[in-house]
Amino acid sequence: MKRLAIITSGGDAPGMNAAIRAIVLSCHTKDILCFGFYHGYNGLMEDEYQLLSPEVVRPITQYGGTILKSARCPQMHDDAGVKQVASTLKRHKIDALIVIGGDGSFRGMMALQAFWSGRLIGVPATIDNDLACTDSTIGFATAVNTATQAIDKIRDTANAFERVFIVEVMGRHSGHIAFNVGLATAAERILSFENCPTDDFKHVEHSLIAQIQTQQQNNHSSFVIVLAENLWPEGPQGLKKSLFESAKIESAVCVLGYIQRGGSPSPEDRILATELGIEAVSAALTDSGVMIGKVNGVLTRSCIIRATEQNKPVDQALHSVYKHLTYT
């Protein structure tokens, strides 16, 4: 293998830069020319790239975001867009493409397999941690830290004002962030896909009201609800409205949003990204259509289809722990 390309694609995740650095340095030791295309698949369409030398990546491990920029790329849903990406890769005689991203980015890789015969390797990076075949994705640990610190601050105000707070966290359609952050912040209630029957929100609302009222009678001063985004009808404002209309419970809403995607990656994410990046280059020498992961401390190469199509549920142990923690 002589020429390798990298993109970072989809939602940026803290640790992407550490993965880029590891890949570039590993290519350097193997005498492989490394192309960094900008803005995810868009850069491959527009032929927008930079050759990545060790000098370019020296001071980047500690930074969030991605030096290669990122983007979503709807054109990857059409053959025309995928062919355009393939033609850029062929023109530059690229032997392997490493995609650092989440499930949408990996679906782009699968589409590319039909039009390009080079090697395709995925490195899982998303704050959502919603990919199978790896215990953790790059960025998840940092997002959990960031959201935990933010809610600790919110807790001070919640205590001071004896207030109910509804804090929405990211995760798209998975509850990994909600459950981990909810447990880490001793939230009185975690509302996520895994523990809320989406066909019976009224039931959830009634049990929540009962829990808040019992706690208020027992003089516990604050009540924090960690709510997974995209779960509740009309979001946190919808829940706030229901609590007031059904039980005259006042609450404050805080949507943590993109604060969870940014910031300096935690040491855990930097190290994971570095390990996965190095392994991705080794995999690109022999394999294709695989995602690099780390399962029970061991680096793995799994079929990209399995990694994206299998659901990774929130750890059952977290559910069990949470069930033992209610004050009511």
Known catalytic residues are 128
CB of 130 to ligand F6P, least distance (A): 8
Here's the x/- map for ligand F6P, 63-92, by CB under 6 A: it reads as: ---------x--------------------
Neighbouring CB atoms inside 10 A of 313's CB total 15
**102 contributes a contact to ligand F6P by CB under 6 A:** yes
The span of 124-132, 218-226, 233-241, 280-288 binding ligand F6P (CB under 6 A) equals 124-132
Looking at the Cβ atoms of 95 and 229, the one nearer to ligand F6P is 229
Near ligand F6P in 21-60, by CB under 6 A: none
Closer CB to ligand F6P, 85 or 228, in the complex = 228
- The interface with ligand F6P within residues 147-186 (CB under 6 A) comprises 170-172
Sole window of 121-129, 211-219, 266-274, 291-299 interacting with ligand F6P (rule: CB under 6 A): 121-129
Residue 14 interacts with ligand F6P (CB under 6 A): yes or no: no
Count of residues binding ligand F6P (CB under 6 A)?
11
Interacting residues with ligand F6P between 206 and 235 (CB under 6 A): 229
Single residue of 111, 120, 128, 188 touching ligand F6P by CB under 6 A: 128
Q: Is 126 in the site for ligand F6P (CB under 6 A)?
A: yes
Min dist. Cβ of residue 53 to ligand F6P (A)? 30
Is 118 a binding residue for ligand F6P by CB under 6 A? The answer is: no
Q: Say how many Å lie between the first and final Cα of the chain, rounded.
A: 62
Q: 3-state secondary structure string, the chain?
A: CCEEEEEECCCCCCCHHHHHHHHHHHHHHCCCEEEEECCCHHHHHHCCEEECCHHHHCCCCCCCCCCCCCCCCHHHHCHHHHHHHHHHHHHCCCCEEEEEECHHHHHHHHHHCCCCCCEEEEEEECCCCCCCCCCCCECHHHHHHHHHHHHHHHHHHHHHHCCEEEEEECCCCCCHHHHHHHHHCCCCEEECCCCCCCCCHHHHHHHHHHHHHHHHHCCCCCEEEEEECCCCCCHHHHHHHHHHHHHCCCEEEEECHHHHCCCCCCHHHHHHHHHHHHHHHHHHHHCCCEEEEEECCEEEEEEHHHHHHCCCCCCHHHHHHHHCCCCC
Min CB(298)–ligand F6P separation in Å: 26
In the list 4, 9, 11, 166, the residue contacting ligand F6P (rule: CB under 6 A) is 11
Is residue 169 within 8 A of residue 226, CB to CB? The reply is yes
Give the nearest distance from C-beta 255 to ligand F6P in angstroms: 12
Q: How far is the CB of 54 from ligand F6P (least distance, A)?
A: 30
* Nearest-approach distance from CB 126 to ligand F6P, in angstroms: 5
Q: What is each CA distance from 241 to 15, 228, 251, 252, in whole angstroms? A: 38, 17, 9, 10
- Give residue number: closest CB to ligand F6P: 11
Please state, in angstroms and rounded to a whole number, the distance separating the CA atoms of residues 30 and 170: 39
Among 176, 261, 270, 301, binds ligand F6P (CB under 6 A): 261
Binding site for ligand F6P (CB under 6 A): 11, 72, 102, 126-128, 170-172, 229, 261
